Amino acid sequence: MRSFGYRFFITLSALLIAVAPVRAQGQCGTVTSIGFPVDVTQFRLVQDYGVPSPRHQGRYHTGEDYYGGRGSSYGQPVRAIAAGRVTYSAPLGWGRDGGVVIIEHTFPDGSIAYSQYGHMEERPETPFPARYGCVKMGDVVGSVGNARPAPHLHFEIRTNQPDVPGPGYTWDFPDQLGWVKPTPFVTNWSAWLQASHRWHTSLSADWRIPPVELDDHSLVYLDSNRLRRLTPDGRLLWRVNFDRQAVGVFAYENAAAVAFADGTMQPFGLDGTPGEAWTTNVPLQQQVLVTGDTLMFQTPDNVLVAFGADRTTPAWRLDGMPPIVDAFAAPKVWAFLSAGHRLFSVSPDGRLLDTATLRAPASFAAARDGALLAYSQGGLWRVGADGVWSLVKDDAPPGGADSGVLVADDGTLYVVSRDRPCRVPTCPSTLTAYDHNGGLRWQADLPGMSGQAQVQKMDDKLLLVSTGGNILTLKDTDGATCNAMRIYGGVRVWDSLGADGVLRLAIGTQMMGLDWQTLSGDCG
């Protein structure tokens, strides 16, 4: 009888231990908002995720280390990034390297992730939370401890090891073992939790070639060496894997076609069925521009090749072009920017109009007369069809790497500029509007703006999307921000507002759909 009772007790205890965390998680709720564990305007990232460490025999870092500067890190409070259930809490979890807290988070899509906070210490004013207890976003879970080599916070996101302090470093790359890069995770989820968010999908790498938007607003795009089609509401409809290198995708008839490095082009039907391929007899390296009926590629031997509507025979070639990193087509002048900030101005019929070396990347727009506008650190310039440069506005703020420019149909000029000199990521940006005579209409601050900005006018609203991942809607009357969100950035931006009211974007390693009315609703 004693043996049966003992076995019954052990079995019941095991069941209670297994069930209790699940019940606790339900009581802790679903994530509705998310943020960083420390103030990232005061703390800076000093060791990134996935970086091999010489101090640890070249093993990879499983988190991000945040340091607030000499004398200003130690003892600072650390906060829970989101609501969740504490699965581990120990002031000596890492021994002499400090305490560890782990929190389990359940997200609206049903996914579960764990945030870990390491190198902490417990103080009377910053006690560690109780294990299996609930925390809310912003609750203090400890303070930065005096860890080697200097007081800092080790912050992780992972899908494994729910209640065990991680090793901090792994021989295999952390992605392969269930760790996730924290900054993109937090940044993207802060956007996905917004009311305007409708869908998103992840890409294997930063997108290189704009997607093809079909008549029903579905998207056909290249992701690495795969062709995919998303439904209008962001679901994957089909994919086609290639055993040879794909270098471009473009609209063709009522669907899309893919260009391959061997010069072959092949259409794909609405259901992903391949059509009859044809060859151009031109080796291709990368697609750099699609404008009107013209499709442009760079070849491995540094030739710019333009194909006309037949997509078969080159309409023209331009030799001696270094690798192109950005391109823009105004009606009368096309711009190609190389990796060394060399700007090549080319006519639509393939004549090299001018070559200029810039100090930094520039942003581009079309002037009302079809000329090219180049907004660089040296100012705002017009490049005419004859290749001649002329200064548009001598008192415009400097442009460059974190700039944007637009000339609206009514002649209003909008420029996005960043205060210079700028040595920290939080330098403010400004949007300035000038009337068609060059007079100042208004100026507006753009807090948190970073990267090259794409400016568009949507009726009485402005949309700004940047390579830094910023998405803003503003009033055209005074530049007041109506709505702002941010996703993790990349090197290019693509967006399209469909007749179905969905703003589709591609930035960095994701595509997403936002409800335009919700995103711009506060604009009135």
pLDDT in tens, 318-336: 999 999 999 999 999 999 9
Tokens of 104: 């389990």
The arithmetic mean of pLDDT across residues 137-164, rounded, is 94
Let me know if 27 is exposed, middle or buried by CB neighbors in 10 A (0-12, 13-18, 19+).
Answer: exposed
pLDDT at residue 19 tops 50: no
**pLDDT score of 448:** 85
User: Per-residue confidence at 423, pLDDT binned at 50, 70, 90?
Assistant: low
pLDDT at residue 421 tops 80: no
pLDDT at residue 75 tops 70: yes
Query: In this structure, what is the dihedral angle of CA atoms 204, 245, 282, 386, given to the nearest 10 degrees?
Result: 10
Q: What is the pLDDT of residues 278-311, one digit of tens each?
A: 999 999 999 999 999 999 999 999 999 999 999 9
**pLDDT score of 36:** 97
Q: Phi then psi for 441, rounded to 5 degrees?
A: -90, -55
Residues in CB range of 422: below 8 A, 6 or more apart? none
pLDDT at residue 10 tops 90: no
> Kindly report the CA angle at 414 between 408 and 418, in degrees rounded to 5?
155
Mean confidence (pLDDT) of the chain? 91
**pLDDT score of 412:** 96
Give strand ranges (E) for 126-216.
134-135, 140-144, 153-158, 169-170, 179-180, 197-202, 212-213
3-class secondary-structure state, position 23 = helix
Residues in CB range of 256: below 8 A, 6 or more apart? 212, 214, 220, 227, 249, 250, 267, 268
Contact indicator for 105, 115 with CB cutoff of 8 Å: yes
pLDDT at residue 251 tops 80: yes
Proportion of the chain above pLDDT 90, given as a percent: 82
What is 21-189's CATH topology? Glucose Permease (Domain IIA) (2.70.70)
Residues in a beta bridge with 170: 60
C-alpha 433/C-alpha 428 separation (Å) is 17
Nearest to 459 by CA among 517, 380, 384: 517
**pLDDT score of 409:** 93
Proportion of the chain above pLDDT 70, given as a percent: 93
Which contiguous run of DSSP H or E holds residue 283?
A: none
**pLDDT score of 156:** 98
The arithmetic mean of pLDDT across residues 63-79, rounded, is 92
**pLDDT score of 27:** 81
pLDDT at residue 113 tops 90: yes
pLDDT at residue 6 tops 50: no
Tokens of 519: 């995103």
**pLDDT score of 13:** 39
The string of DSSP codes covering 58-107 is TPEE-SEEEE--TTTSTT-EEE-SSSEEEEEEETTTTGGG-EEEEEEEE-
Question: Domain coordinates of the chain in residue numbers?
Answer: 21-189
- The reported pTM is 0.90
Tokens of 115: 């945030």
The arithmetic mean of pLDDT across residues 192-202, rounded, is 96
Radius of gyration of the chain (CA): 27
**pLDDT score of 240:** 97
